[in-house]
Amino acid sequence: MVEILSISNKHVAVFGAGRSGRAAAALALREGAVVSMWDQGGQKSFEGLDERIEKHPSFTEADAVNFSADLIVISPGIDTYCPLVQAFAAKARMIGETEFAASYYEGGIIGITGTNGKTTTTELVFRILHHAGFGGTPCGNYGASLSEIVLSDDVPAAVALELSSFQLETIDDLRPKVSIWLNFAPDHMDRYPTVEAYKAAKMRIFENQTAEDTVVMRAGEDLGKLVPQVITFSTETRDADFFSDGITITQGGRILLDLETETSLRGLHNAENAMAAMAACMAYGIDPSIIPDALQGYAPPPHRCELIRTLDGVEYLNDSKATNLHALQCALRSQNRPVVLIAGGKDKGLDYAPLLTMLAKQAISAVTFGQIARPLAELFNTAVPTTAVVTLEEAVHSARSLAPRGSTILLSPGTSSFDQFTGYEKRGDTFRDIVHQLN
């Protein structure tokens, strides 16, 4: 728990009228603050908002000149690097919604970050915590905002808190009892000036941890010298504290979990997520003997190597959540059948050259689509035969013509969806619909 903010009768300006911003505003009102909300979406953004909140639609950088507040609470979707936000941040202390809510939360926090696998790991941590009687509600970058948890009638004793780089940019005192670092790969280069800036934002999860706290990390990650105790997991080296071959999870040679008989988790990437969750919960003090029951029947969330159907001996997998290169690499690495890859979407300025070795090893062909289709096809063609198309529907039909019986058509875009879709969920849902219409 961090120091409680005293905001009674003070002006709290909330930037962003979405779910987390509205929850932060409600929490600020509960704590006696005078609240204003700022959103460039116009009056429609404020529909249903508490009448006590002063509303500022369609504001500009010029409005910062006369701006005054005791505290700014910013929603994670707003770019803190942009000149508009910087102009306001020069006038008052600025923190994120998660940091704000954490100052009013008295329970324990298991914080989860990494470029890929955060949501699955967060759900696994939640299930174990909940089974152990801690509540463990998933929140932060996934599920409810932390402000919503604090405002709830039944506040849990512990939370599984997914933390994106956007949320970690704006913390001051947030201190997880256990932090999980899953992996790191370049991403969000459309927001961060450098890869180093992106990594530095994620590294802030350790900033306030002490020697009494714990870091659970993937073996081989370059995190420098850490103050907390360190527990490692790996699917590559048995020297790690936790190891998995994709079938069982062991600690010091002792089998803790059989993934094939006790869970629905498949693939090395899911084995890593499960190890991280187990290690974190055990570090929190939970008996490992309850974990198999806690994970019984669990299936990963949609859009994460989700099996849609098998048609003519070909599996169709929806991995639309793969919005960066590392996620695409993980998806390819986890396959044990020949792959026809469907990739593409928005051009985020990522370098796909490191993928070529894995692509040549795992795939027999590829189809690219969207804004990045042609340059990606030119690159992929150096590894496997690749076809460039415009739409996802064209990509599915093209992939079907290339996929022999016994293979897998894998939608793992490797970039975001905002060139043609409103989000990775819509992209994945569209893929699912297209696949179900095949005959």
CATH code at 170?
A: 3.40.1190.10
Same domain, 201 and 260: yes
pLDDT in tens, the chain (439 residues): 456 789 999 999 999 999 999 999 999 999 999 999 999 988 889 999 999 999 999 899 999 999 999 999 999 889 888 899 999 999 999 999 999 999 999 999 999 999 888 999 999 999 999 999 999 899 999 999 999 999 999 999 999 999 999 999 999 999 999 999 999 876 665 678 888 988 999 999 999 999 999 999 999 999 999 999 999 999 999 999 999 998 899 999 999 999 888 887 877 888 999 999 999 999 999 999 999 999 988 877 789 888 889 999 999 999 999 998 988 998 898 887 899 999 999 998 889 999 999 999 999 999 999 999 999 999 999 999 999 999 999 999 999 999 999 999 999 999 999 999 999 999 999 999 999 999 9
The answer to whether position 158 is within a domain reads yes
The answer to whether position 125 is within a domain reads yes
The answer to whether position 5 is within a domain reads no
Q: How far apart are CA 226 and CA 179, in angstroms?
A: 12
Same domain, 123 and 39: no
Q: How far apart are CA 154 and CA 184, in angstroms?
A: 35
The answer to whether position 172 is within a domain reads yes
Q: How far apart are CA 266 and CA 226, in angstroms?
A: 31
Angle at 107 between CA 103 and CA 111, to 5 degrees: 80
Q: What pTM did the predictor assign?
A: 0.78
Domain final residue pick, 42, 70, 92: 92
- Could you list the residue range(s) of the whole structural domain that residue 87 is in? 11-92
Same domain, 88 and 108: no
CATH code at 397?
A: 3.90.190.20
Domain final residue pick, 273, 295, 317: 295
Same domain, 234 and 361: no
CATH code at 55?
A: 3.40.50.720
SS3 of residue 230 by DSSP: strand
CA-based radius of gyration for the chain = 23
Same domain, 116 and 254: yes
The answer to whether position 1 is within a domain reads no
The answer to whether position 4 is within a domain reads no
Domain final residue pick, 265, 295, 325: 295
Judge whether 8 and 25 are in contact, CB under 8 Å.
no
Judge whether 284 and 100 are in contact, CB under 8 Å.
no
Same domain, 133 and 275: yes
Q: How far apart are CA 340 and CA 409, in angstroms?
A: 5
The answer to whether position 132 is within a domain reads yes
**Total count of domains within the chain:** 3
pLDDT value, residue 307: 82
Same domain, 252 and 315: no
Same domain, 123 and 180: yes
Same domain, 280 and 339: no
pLDDT value, residue 2: 56
Number of Cβ atoms within 10 Å of the Cβ of 161: 33
Same domain, 284 and 184: yes
Q: How far apart are CA 369 and CA 420, in angstroms?
A: 10
Q: How far apart are CA 209 and CA 207, in angstroms?
A: 6
pLDDT value, residue 188: 64
Q: How far apart are CA 304 and CA 411, in angstroms?
A: 10
Same domain, 109 and 257: yes
Angle at 75 between CA 425 and CA 320, to 5 degrees: 15
Q: How far apart are CA 240 and CA 431, in angstroms?
A: 38
The answer to whether position 2 is within a domain reads no
Same domain, 87 and 198: no
